[in-house]
Amino acid sequence: MERRLSNPPYLAFPLRIEADGPRLADRAGHIRGQIEQVLFTLAGERVFRPDFGAGVKALLFEPNDSPLWALTRRRLIASLADALAGEVDPKTIEVHVTGEEARLLITVSYTLAAVGHRERHQFAVGEP
């Protein structure tokens, strides 16, 4: 991995120790890992950060329709803006939530604050 000021090495998520040390990630991989942590951590799960997380797995037992998507979208934008402060320009965070049957699809787009590069990730929660 090339080490530059615009793309420093980060510890990969989830943490893995390999023969030559901890696995590393680039900036995009690091931010994707942070987004996964926000999505799949339940509020109150972290003792010292009780407001961290959106807990989308708990939404699997709710009706999969547009009111749920709107609520999830608002919750995620607030959680991601807080968790990604400094890494991502908070005004550029876009979250799209849709669903089909027993699956919730979440697309997160943002612009990296340091380099102005646009990224987009999609996450699926539930059965395929």
pLDDT mean by block of 10 residues, the chain; 128 residues? 64 86 87 89 88 82 78 86 87 86 86 85 82
**Would you state the pLDDT for residue 6?**
61
Token readout for 84 is 């990604």
**Would you state the pLDDT for residue 122?**
92
Q: What is the pTM of this model?
A: 0.80
**Would you state the pLDDT for residue 11?**
85
CA distance 107 to 45: 23
Contact 52, 34 (CB under 8 A): no
Domains of the chain: 10-126 (3.10.450.40)
Contact 88, 112 (CB under 8 A): yes
**Would you state the pLDDT for residue 66?**
78
Tokens 């329709």 map to which residue?
65
**Would you state the pLDDT for residue 67?**
81
